[in-house]
A and B are shown apart, each in its own frame.
Chain A
């Protein structure tokens, strides 16, 4: 059975112009029905549309903003900000010390939605004032709402509608939360490959930990915390679509020049305490300093493929010998 999220189906953009394309409600319902997802098809069938059967874009936007606002509650309760700061703080400190960044340090949140992560980092100031915080998303309505929320609180961050990997200014670190499971197969490889740019020192992408508990936990949590059936449906689907550690490490290896690692992989974390965990990529020369900056406890939770780590150690020792 193909696992589909309704929110992925109700908005479509022209890949070239980024202009919004009309979406037929019947097509969404048909895709969900074909995937054997009757509850999803029922939810989609209830979405507002015009006489021609096209989904009402304003109603869809309102619904998506409401669902993402509810979804933010989960990020808040699961202390996503703290989790990311635990890694990004030491990572940026190491990048600063190594002078690895071309220009100012810039953290770009890929597929930022309402920009909770970027706004939380801006509000907490935990990364320091020299870090440019940017949220990027294809969805114009979500970007507008993210901007509105940031303005309402006077937060030092900004939001851009478009392709996060095609910004005029390069990202020092790419981050994301809950985005990876939207990509499958070669699209996932391409997602990581796009981050292998000259100015990028690292990436850190959080997604749902693929454990046997995740779909049950997601059902309980979305049932208890979310009111919108669309949000509940997509939340459970997200957990069912989550990639395992091995898939993520394999895909992350497509980012040339960045060493792929998992933080808190399965087997080294308690699934009740780690519902989301990141796949990380760092420039080889930053790996040892990052481990040192994280300290012995957290560093032990950072695990890469043995061959990739051995290659980094060989390179480091060869560099040391030459020096």
Chain B
């Protein structure tokens, strides 16, 4: 269950990373369709990273002498990772809801206090989650490291591939 929740979070994050890679590159006013395309590009770049970390986890699982114990260890690591990411995700969702559906002054508050600083904090939160997963569990370290690198690379990769210049 923990692993599935983490995978879902990673996919949502990848879509947002694609969107962020696109923002600031298109001066047009109406661009919902292009923003959605950017989110899909983020997903497309994020999925291989997710599959790679899954493959590392599966190989560690099947390579273990005691698979039940290894599964429990990896699941506990995923749980620790989730504990780091869940509060961050909750604040992001709250800020986004306020931005999208609140009056524009509340929207400004959501950006100034929430979404802006949260974007800056995101790499640190990703690394903190990876460290928490690896804490005291050597087999979880490569999985969390691959997952964290995969998550952090989505935005620069999409930006470099599709949005290096204004569109």
Query: In the complex, are the beta carbons of A227 and B117 less than 8 A apart?
Result: no
A97 CB–B CB distance under 8 Å: no
A111-B26 Cα distance, complex, nearest whole Å: 20
The answer, among B28, B107, B117, B119, for a CB contact under 8 Å with A152, is B28
* Chain A minimum-CB-distance residue to B29: A123
The segment from A10-18, A41-49, A65-73, A306-314 found at the interface with B is: A65-73
Which among B24, B108, B116, B117 is the interface contact of A72 at CB below 8 angstroms?
A: B24
If A66-B165, A220-B120 touch, whether A78 touches B108 (CB-CB below 8 Å) is yes
Contact segment of A53-61, A268-276, A286-294: A268-276
**Given A272-B109, A273-B108, A145 and B117 touching (CB < 8 A)?**
no
- A83: chain B residues within 8 A (beta carbon): 104
Chain B interface residue count, Cβ-Cβ cutoff 8 angstroms: 25
Please, how many angstroms separate the alpha-carbon atoms of A65 and B167 in the complex?
11
Q: Is the CB of A114 closer than 8 A to any CB of chain B?
A: yes
Please measure, in the bound complex, the distance between the C-alpha atom of A149 and the C-alpha atom of B112, giving whole angstroms: 28
Q: In the complex the two chains form, is B29's CB within 8 Å of A225's CB?
A: no
The answer to whether A224 touches B119 (Cβ under 8 A) is: yes
Q: CB distance A69 to B104 under 8 Å?
A: no
Task: Evaluate whether A82 and B27 lie within 8 angstroms (CB atoms) in the complex, with A221-B112, A224-B119 already known.
Answer: no
Of B111, B117, B120, B166, which one neighbours A66 at CB under 8 angstroms?
B166
Complex Cα spacing A323 to B29, Å: 48
Known: A69-B24, A225-B119, A227-B24. A273 touches B105 (CB 8 A): yes
Q: B24 and A224: CB pair below 8 A?
A: no
Evaluate contact between A119 and B29: CB separation under 8 angstroms: yes
Query: In the assembly, what is the distance between CA of A119 and CA of B27, in Å?
Result: 10
CA distance A131 to B93 in the complex (A): 39
Beyond A69-B27, A149-B28, A153-B30, is A79–B120 a contact (Cβ under 8 Å)? no
Taking Cβ atoms with an 8 Å cutoff, the residues of A that contact B are: 65-66, 68-70, 72-73, 77-79, 82-83, 86, 114, 116, 119-120, 123, 145, 149, 152-153, 155, 217, 220-221, 223-227, 270, 272-275
Interface pairs (21), CB distance under 8 Å: A70-B24, A72-B27, A73-B23, A77-B111, A82-B104, A114-B27, A116-B27, A119-B29, A120-B29, A152-B28, A155-B29, A217-B116, A221-B111, A221-B116, A224-B116, A224-B119, A225-B23, A225-B116, A272-B109, A273-B105, A275-B108
Which 5 residue pairs across A and B have the least CB separation, nearest first?
Answer: A70-B24, A79-B104, A273-B105, A224-B119, A73-B24
